[in-house]
Homo-oligomer: A and B are copies of this chain.
Amino acid sequence: MARKDSKRLRRVVLERLMRYYRWLSEPKRKPLKTVTSAQIAEALDIDPTQVRKDFGAIGILGMGRVGFDVSEVCRGIRYVLGFYQRYEAVLIGAGHLGSALMAYDGFENYGLDIVAVFDNDAKKIGSTVRGHKVKSMRSLKPFIRKHKIRLAILTTPAAVSQQLTDRLVSSGVKAIWNFTPTRVTVPPEVLVRNEHISLGLSQIAYHLTH
Q: Is A205 an interface residue (CB 8 A)?
A: yes
**Contact A174:B208 (CB < 8 A) given known A18-B202, A202-B14:** yes
Whether the Cβ atoms of A18 and B175 lie closer than 8 Å is no
List CB contacts (< 8 Å) of A151-184 with chain B: 151, 174-175, 177, 181, 183
Instruction: Bits for A96-132, please: 1 = Cβ < 8 Å to B, else 0.
Output: 1101110111110111100000000000000000000
Residues of chain B lying within 8 A (CB to CB) of residue A96: 96-97, 99-100, 103
Instruction: Bits for A171-203, please: 1 = Cβ < 8 Å to B, else 0.
Output: 000110100010100000001010111111111
Whether the Cβ atoms of B15 and A199 lie closer than 8 Å is yes
Whether the Cβ atoms of A18 and B87 lie closer than 8 Å is no
Whether the Cβ atoms of B14 and A175 lie closer than 8 Å is no
Expressed in whole angstroms, the minimum distance between the Cβ of A3 and any Cβ of chain B is 15
- In-complex Cβ contact of A204 among B8, B191, B205 (8 A): B191
